[in-house]
Amino acid sequence: MVAGNSHFGNIKDLVMRCVILNISEWEAFKESFTLIKVPAKKILLKKGQVAHHLYFVNHGILRLYYINSRGEDITAFFFKEKLFAGSYESFILQKPSLQQIEALEDTELLSISFDKLQELYKEIPKINILTRVITEQRFITGQEIFSSFILKTAEERYVLFSEKHPDLLLRVPLQYVASFLGMTAVSLSRIRRRLIKSSLIS
Amino acid sequence: MVAGNSHFGNIKDLVMRCVILNISEWEAFKESFTLIKVPAKKILLKKGQVAHHLYFVNHGILRLYYINSRGEDITAFFFKEKLFAGSYESFILQKPSLQQIEALEDTELLSISFDKLQELYKEIPKINILTRVITEQRFITGQEIFSSFILKTAEERYVLFSEKHPDLLLRVPLQYVASFLGMTAVSLSRIRRRLIKSSLIS
């Protein structure tokens, strides 16, 4: 689907914070993206497939998750509005993904292919600044999750999540939040009841 | 300490795989680094300090680790020869580190400060390509560790580590390898004995 100017507001804010593009560079950047709309529950990437695309979320939520050898579903990340999303390791290396991606809501995305991105790097080398910053942010987010598993209790992780992402608690099924926080849905419910009782959260 | 050409062999290989620098750009890049030698057991960064420097390991090993609220020491990563090393989240954001860094051997490093790196970005924008690639590699390595905790057993993690880093098993105290793999030193010894008995490793 061809994306109009109205679909590029959020990505433009992000790009312009990282790098100064002139009009023709911005046009070339825009034209590298395709607008796609995916209905809730649609699986965009299955494990074992190569992630050929990177997405920018205009509306909706993508969930990145693992299916382990026991068939259990473990959420790795929620990508909501204004974030670049994807199985980034698979995308960078162009190798089969360990993770899956699904839409949790009707979702509108701007999609860029791996090949298009490599063309952009050649055409507009400054795009390396943008992807450096985006990759730094993905690294930092990954580190924060890893550190929270080492340094915090399950309850502390939940309190932090509810402070940082109160919207996600309303938009995402609780069992996905539970596995993202490293606990069962039953443990999460118990923690929520305890916190509500002690008025720590509403 | 001023670094001579002989100290730049490994970093030059890495840089030149990512980006083509002319002679004056390479000289400017080199001059941004300082050679430092740190003795084994020296702590280069304490938690709560801001990581003002990023290191390239010429010889030796740096260990990145957490101290949790119970005073337990948990290894996050080993940086050996030819790797950029540091508390990268603290370095990028210039905020206090959650982690500590120590030298496990007498270690020789090339060190660049955060401010010098920002100057390099202005002087030689192509350096963004280099740091994009390095950040992608750090992200991928972090993801591999995270995925292995979700998808593999402790024994599988140990087998993978011993295949990928046989040198580290000889150079690093086993209790550090144990915490890196998410187990106690006692569990690691038990796994090693079982694997040796079944001749899966030597």
The CA distance from B139 to A95, in Å, is: 15
Instruction: Quote the domain boundaries for residue B190.
Output: 152-202
Nearest Cα of chain A lies from the Cα of B19 at a distance, in angstroms, of 11
Q: Is the pLDDT of residue B201 over 90?
A: no
Domain presence at residue B137: no
Domain presence at residue B147: no
Chain B CA closest to residue A118: B129
pLDDT tens sequence for chain A (202 residues): 777 888 999 999 999 999 999 999 999 999 999 999 999 999 999 999 999 999 999 999 999 999 999 999 999 999 999 999 999 999 999 999 999 999 999 999 999 999 999 999 999 999 999 999 999 999 999 999 999 999 999 999 999 999 999 999 999 999 999 999 999 999 999 999 999 888 765 5
- Work out the burial of residue B197: count CB atoms within 10 Å of its CB; fewer than 13 is exposed, 13-18 middle, 19 or more buried: exposed
Q: Does the beta-carbon distance from B142 to A145 stay under 8 Å?
A: no
3-state secondary structure of A35: strand
Whether residue B90 is found in the same domain as residue B175: no
3-state secondary structure of A149: helix
Alpha-carbon distances, residue A80 vs A56, A61, A105, A172, B89 (angstroms): 9, 5, 10, 11, 22
Domain presence at residue B145: no
Whether residue A127 is found in the same domain as residue A184: no
- Chain A residue numbers with beta carbons less than 8 Å from the beta carbon of B138 are 139
Q: Does the beta-carbon distance from A139 to B144 stay under 8 Å?
A: no
The residue among B83, B102, B131 that closes a domain is B131
Q: Is B143 on the interface with A (CB under 8 A)?
A: yes
Nearest Cα of chain B lies from the Cα of A32 at a distance, in angstroms, of 20
Whether residue A39 is found in the same domain as residue A107: yes
Whether residue A78 is found in the same domain as residue A178: no
The CA distance from A182 to A178, in Å, is: 6
Question: What pLDDT does residue B5 have?
Answer: 82
Of B125, B126, B146, the CB nearest to A142: B146
The two tokens of residue A198 are 């002690």
The residue among A127, A150, A173 that closes a domain is A150
> What is the domain-level CATH number for residue A88?
2.60.120.10
What is the DSSP secondary structure assignment for residue A116, as one 8-state letter? Answer: H
Whether residue B122 is found in the same domain as residue B34: yes
Whether residue A127 is found in the same domain as residue A48: yes
Buried b (16+ CB within 10 A) or exposed e, A29-54: bbebbeebebeeeeebbeeeeebbbb
Nearest Cα of chain A lies from the Cα of B128 at a distance, in angstroms, of 6
- Chain B residue numbers with beta carbons less than 8 Å from the beta carbon of A128 are 125-126, 128-129, 132
Of B66, B142, B147, the CB nearest to A150: B66
- Helix, strand and coil content of chain A, in percent to the nearest 5, comes to 50, 20, 30
Distant-in-sequence, close-in-space partners of A78: CB < 8 Å, separation ≥ 6? A61, A62, A63, A64, A104, A165, A168, A172, A176, A180
Q: Does the beta-carbon distance from B145 to A142 stay under 8 Å?
A: no
Question: What pLDDT does residue B1 have?
Answer: 72
Q: Does the beta-carbon distance from A135 to B135 stay under 8 Å?
A: yes
Of B98, B128, B145, the CB nearest to A151: B98
Alpha-carbon distances, residue B176 vs A170, B74, B101, B171 (angstroms): 41, 7, 13, 11
Whether residue B165 is found in the same domain as residue B71: no
What is the DSSP secondary structure assignment for residue B173, as one 8-state letter? Answer: -
Nearest Cα of chain A lies from the Cα of B147 at a distance, in angstroms, of 8
Whether residue B125 is found in the same domain as residue B77: yes
Paired strand residues for A73: A67
Domain presence at residue B115: yes
Whether residue B67 is found in the same domain as residue B127: yes
Whether residue A142 is found in the same domain as residue A158: no
Mean pLDDT of chain B: 95
Paired strand residues for A43: A102
Nearest Cα of chain A lies from the Cα of B60 at a distance, in angstroms, of 24
- Chain A residue numbers with beta carbons less than 8 Å from the beta carbon of B66 are 147, 150-151
Whether residue B107 is found in the same domain as residue B53: yes
Give me the residues of A, 56-75, that contact B with CB < 8 A: 66, 68-69, 74
Distant-in-sequence, close-in-space partners of A199: CB < 8 Å, separation ≥ 6? none
Whether residue B156 is found in the same domain as residue B117: no
Of B89, B126, B150, the CB nearest to A74: B150
Q: What is the ipTM of this complex?
A: 0.91
Domain presence at residue B146: no
The CA distance from A110 to A6, in Å, is: 12
Q: How many domains does chain B have?
A: 2
Q: Is A95 on the interface with B (CB under 8 A)?
A: no
The CA distance from B66 to B80, in Å, is: 18
The model's pLDDT over B138-154, given as tens digits with 9 standing for 90+, comes to 999 999 999 999 999 99
Chain A CA closest to residue B75: A150
